[in-house]
Structure formats: structure tokens, C-alpha cells
């Protein structure tokens, strides 16, 4: 399971303020906390700063990597911002994200083609947001083929089937889950990942819904998540779900988590 | 005849079949269609909006109520001419250019309709020119724009600028996750709504001013 820590996002008030006053210590602390909680990648987003996104994204990468030995997930649709961030990034970054929307696709392909970068491929096209598993699969097919033709490794592709709120249509949960299963079986070696908050929009007890949904998706083959790793319950659920899905040899991750007190809330 | 109060309760509870039954019963008993709408159907939705805003009702329940109300309206509509249909004003609604987010915007549209506005939902990925055309065509009182991305929210500014250039007499309001009151002020919007229920209040307030 690949965990991307989502907290360093400028649309969160504390982070937005830290970025605007260039408070490196605040950013570093969130990076360290997430890394220690088990994040494999640290997401960085400076999207609210129109005109300064490149500069700030670069600053975030440098700041984060001064204190944690982890790659970043560069969260921007702007190729210029991503390139600025890549120029200072150590290790192999993840790009968040490319999609089948033509403008976004055409802008990002030149940046990632032939590289060893990891990329999140979001199932969205100019025709709008997919609602059924079938629609998602069609977009995933085009995205995966496009990326492979541009010399991206299968193992570096993380398809995000796009989570939509179940509050607005009762089929939105199950159609996503079916898509994860279909992508995992039809495109061997391609990963699937997603964020969770969209699923619970419009409903109470959102964390509870997010956890259950993550567990169900993991059972279908999901192997990446963009989450808040400081949430101990979700992390404990992920570790357990992976074990129950047959992806934890000798239950060793589960037991390691138990011994390091990951199940004490 | 069942009471308007009872019809309003059925709308609040989102009981579509019951709403249809009660409306039909009222029609058969010779009730004024306008009263059925205002005192029954819209009265019910006028309770739903604030409850939703207060966190006592949730999105699926609001959708059920709105659906129940629409089913009731569909029964009385044939009995009235277009002119008789009550309207608080006309609102042109859309998600701005480059942005494909549909759900929040549709929720706003549904609540506005339920609140008695005539809503022209243009859809997603709407260019400034298309907003302007629609304002002219439908003689809109308000343009409501949605954006869910920091990259696309600039489309709101472009649209407002074009509307001002064209000298159109229409209020502009905005909403969506990355949007704030500050941003609304900065781009010269007439209002900002943090959620769908607030959007209804905002429109009422702007048109009564």
C-alpha cells in the first residue's frame, strides 16, 4: 500500500498561511509527522497562489525534503509549477495528476514522457466525470495506453478512478469499487489509488464512511491512498484490510503495526 | 381535503408517493393550484433549506424532498398558464470554463428551484460568452457560477468582466470549494455562498434589495 500524506495543501488554512509567510518550521513539522506516521510520499500543493504557484511549490519541496527522506507528490495541473518543483526534487517524485482532459493531458505529457516519474492518472475527460465503472474503464484504457506509448512504465501508473459522493447517487460507491476491480484485473501491473473525502460529502460521520470505503476498495485491489496519515484509525484499517486481502505475507505488516502501537487509539 | 400543512410535512419527509396523492386530492377538491404550490410544496422546502444548512438534514434527504416537491409541481403545472406560475426570479447557473464539476452546482440548482426561482442550468465547462448569451436570452436576474478548482475559478472573474463590458443588468454570485468571500469581493461579484442553502438565501436577499 502506497500512502500519500495529504496535509501539506494550501487550501487548508494553516498551510496556506504558513506558505504565504514562508514559515518553513510549520511545513517541516507537518512533513515529519506524516512521514513518521507512515506516509511514503508527501503531497505538496500551492494551488491557491495564482501567479506564485511555481515558486511556492518549489519552496515546499525543498522545505519538506530538508527534514524527511521521502519523495514528494507534486499536486498541480500546471506543467510549469511541476517542472519548477522537479528541478529541486530529490528522488523519484509522483505527479498529481494527469487526466484525459485534453488541455491537461497535452500539457503534462511532455513533462513526464520517458521519465521514471510516478503519475496519478485521473479518470476524467472532456466529456465530464464518469459515473459508471464502464465509463471509468474507457478513460483508464485511453490514459494507460497514452502513458505507455509515451514510455512510462506500467508500474509507475496509478489510476485514480475518481470518487464521487454517494449522497448524491446510491450507485457512486459501488461503481467506483467495480472500476477498481476491473482496472486491477484488466491492466495487470497498473496501480489504483484515490483520495477518500469525496465519497462522504453531504453525510454525517464522514470519517467512518471514508474508512469503510477504503477497506472495501482495498479488498477490490486498491493499493494507493491519498489520506491524512495522522488519523490512526484509518491507518489501522488499511493495514488490516491489506492483510485480509491476502497482501501481507505471514501477516508481518499487521504484527509490526501491532508492536509499534498502531492499534492503540 | 388534506391540509397544506400535511402536504408540507410530506415534502419535508421526502415521501414522493404521498405528495402526489395529496396534491391530486387537493386538485380534485378544487384547491387553487397556486396555494398548493406556495402553501404546501414550497412551504415544505422552505423548512428543508434551513434544516439542511443547520446540519439537521443531509444531502440525500434534501434530494428526496426536492424530488417529492417536483412530482407535486408536475401535477399542478398543467392547470396553470406560464404567467400564473410563481417565480422569485430567473437564475442562470453554470460551472465555469475548464471545470467539469457538476454535483454541487446541481444541488444549488435544485434548492433554488425548490425555493421558487426559475433556474436555467447551463451545465459544466461554460465559457463567459455562453453565460452572457444565456443572460440575454432568458432575461436573467442572477448569474450563479460554480468552480471547484483553483485553476478554473479565474473563469468567474472573466465572466464578470464580460458581463460588465456588455453592460448587462444582472447580479453575479459565486460558490465552490476554493472560492471565498474575499475572492468574491476581489472580482466584483455581488455575493458568495458557502453552501447550497445559503445560495437560496443570498438570491432572495439580492432580489429583494
- Give, for all 265 residues of chain A, the pLDDT tens digit: 999 999 999 989 999 999 999 999 999 999 999 999 999 999 999 998 988 999 999 999 999 999 999 999 999 989 999 999 999 999 999 999 999 999 999 999 999 999 999 999 999 999 989 999 999 999 999 999 999 999 999 999 999 999 999 999 999 999 999 999 999 999 999 999 999 999 999 999 999 999 999 999 999 999 999 999 999 999 999 999 999 999 999 999 999 999 999 999 9
Q: What is the pLDDT at residue B87?
A: 83
Please name the residue of chain A whose CA is at the shortest distance from the CA of residue B100: A128
Mean pLDDT of chain B: 94
Q: Tell me the average pLDDT across B122-151.
A: 96
Q: Name which of A119, A71, A78 is nearest A93 in CA terms.
A: A71
Q: How far off is chain B from A76, nearest CA to CA, in Å?
A: 9
Angular region, B30: left φ>0, alpha ψ -120 to 50, beta rest? left
Q: What is the pLDDT at residue B81?
A: 80
Residues 151-190 of chain A whose Cβ lies under 8 A from any Cβ of chain B = 164-165, 167-168
C-alpha cell at A9: 495543501
Taking the alpha carbons at both ends of chain A, their separation in whole angstroms is 21
CA atoms of A100 and A9, how far apart (whole Å) = 24
Q: At a CB cut-off of 8 Å and minimum separation 6, what does A248 contact? A: A239, A242, A254
What CATH number belongs to B4-79? 1.10.1240.10
Q: What ipTM does the predicted assembly reach?
A: 0.87
- Pure H helices in B80-195: 103-114, 128-138, 154-165, 181-186
SS3 call for A125: strand
Q: Which of A11, A50, A164 sits opposite B154 (nearest CB)?
A: A50
What CATH number belongs to B90-208? 3.40.50.280
Q: Please determine, for residue B24, whether its predicted confidence score (pLDDT) is greater than 80.
A: yes
Q: How far off is chain B from A77, nearest CA to CA, in Å?
A: 8
C-alpha cell at A215: 477497506
Residues 7-26 of chain A whose Cβ lies under 8 A from any Cβ of chain B = 11
Residues of B with CB under 8 A from a CB of A: 55, 58-60, 63, 98, 100-103, 106-107, 124-125, 149-151, 154, 177-178
Q: How far off is chain B from A13, nearest CA to CA, in Å?
A: 11
Q: What is the pLDDT at residue A50?
A: 84
pTM score, whole prediction? 0.91
If you ran DSSP here, which 8-state letter would residue B38 be given?
Answer: I
How many residues are present in chain B? 209
Q: How far off is chain A from B32, nearest CA to CA, in Å?
A: 34
CA atoms of B180 and A93, how far apart (whole Å) = 31
Going from N- to C-terminal start, the domains of chain B cover 4-79, 90-208
* Cis before A97 (ω within 30): yes
If you ran DSSP here, which 8-state letter would residue B40 be given?
Answer: I
- Bigger pLDDT: B84 vs B154: B154
Q: Count the neighbouring beta carbons within 10 Å of the beta carbon of residue A33.
A: 15
Q: What is the pLDDT at residue B130?
A: 98
Is A167 in contact with B59 (Cβ distance < 8 A)? yes
Amino acid at each position: 500500500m502506497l500512502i500519500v500524506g495529504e496535509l501539506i495543501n494550501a487550501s487548508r488554512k494553516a498551510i496556506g498561511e504558513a506558505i504565504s509567510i514562508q514559515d518553513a518550521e510549520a511545513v517541516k513539522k507537518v512533513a515529519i509527522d506524516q512521514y513518521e506516521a507512515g506516509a511514503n510520499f508527501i503531497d505538496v500543493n500551492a494551488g491557491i497562489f495564482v501567479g506564485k504557484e511555481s515558486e511556492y511549490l518549489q519552496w515546499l519541496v525543498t522545505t519538506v525534503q530538508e527534514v524527511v527522506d521521502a519523495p514528494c507528490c507534486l499536486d498541480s495541473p500546471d506543467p510549469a509549477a511541476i517542472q519548477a518543483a522537479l528541478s529541486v526534487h530529490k528522488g523519484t517524485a509522483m505527479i498529481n495528476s494527469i487526466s484525459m482532459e485534453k488541455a491537461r493531458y497535452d500539457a503534462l505529457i511532455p513533462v513526464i514522457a520517458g521519465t521514471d516519474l510516478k503519475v496519478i492518472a485521473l479518470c476524467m475527460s472532456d466529456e465530464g466525470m464518469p459515473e459508471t465503472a464502464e465509463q471509468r474503464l474507457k478513460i483508464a484504457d485511453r490514459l494507460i495506453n497514452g502513458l505507455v506509448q509515451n514510455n512510462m512504465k506500467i508500474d509507475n501508473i496509478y489510476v485514480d478512478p475518481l470518487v464521487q459522493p454517494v449522497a448524491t447517487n446510491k450507485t457512486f460507491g459501488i461503481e467506483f469499487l467495480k472500476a477498481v476491480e476491473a482496472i486491477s484485473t484488466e491492466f495487470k501491473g497498473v496501480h489504483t489509488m484515490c483520495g477518500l473525502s469525496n465519497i462522504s460529502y453531504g453525510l454525517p460521520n464522514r470519517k467512518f464512511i471514508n474508512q469503510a470505503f477504503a477497506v472495501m476498495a482495498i479488498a477490490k485491489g486498491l493499493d494507493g491512498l491519498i489520506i491524512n496519515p495522522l488519523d490512526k484509525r484509518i491507518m489501522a484499517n488499511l493495514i488490516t484490510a491489506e492483510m485480509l486481502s491476502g497482501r501481507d505475507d505471514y501477516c508481518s505488516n499487521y504484527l509490526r503495526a501491532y508492536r509499534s502501537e498502531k492499534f492503540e487509539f | 381535503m388534506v391540509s397544506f400543512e400535511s402536504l408540507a410535512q410530506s415534502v419535508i419527509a421526502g415521501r414522493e408517493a404521498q405528495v402526489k396523492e395529496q396534491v391530486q386530492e387537493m386538485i380534485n377538491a378544487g384547491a387553487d393550484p397556486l396555494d398548493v404550490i406556495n402553501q404546501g410544496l414550497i412551504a415544505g422546502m422552505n423548512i428543508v433549506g434551513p434544516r439542511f444548512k443547520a446540519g439537521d438534514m443531509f444531502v440525500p434527504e434534501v434530494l428526496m424532498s426536492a424530488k417529492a416537491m417536483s412530482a407535486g409541481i408536475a401535477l399542478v403545472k398543467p392547470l396553470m398558464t406560464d404567467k400564473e406560475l410563481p417565480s422569485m426570479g430567473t437564475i442562470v447557473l453554470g460551472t465555469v470554463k475548464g471545470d467539469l464539476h457538476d454535483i454541487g452546482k446541481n444541488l444549488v440548482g435544485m434548492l433554488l428551484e425548490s425555493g421558487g426561482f426559475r433556474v436555467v442550468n447551463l451545465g459544466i465547462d461554460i465559457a463567459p460568452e455562453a453565460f452572457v448569451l444565456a443572460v440575454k436570452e432568458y432575461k436573467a436576474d442572477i448569474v450563479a457560477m460554480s468552480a471547484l478548482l483553483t485553476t478554473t475559478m479565474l473563469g468567474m472573474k472573466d465572466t464578470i468582466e464580460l458581463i460588465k463590458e456588455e453592460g448587462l443588468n444582472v447580479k453575479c454570485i459565486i460558490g465552490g470549494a476554493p472560492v471565498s468571500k474575499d475572492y468574491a469581493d476581489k472580482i466584483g461579484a455581488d455575493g458568495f455562498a458557502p453552501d447550497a442553502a445559503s445560495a437560496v438565501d443570498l438570491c432572495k436577499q439580492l432580489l429583494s434589495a
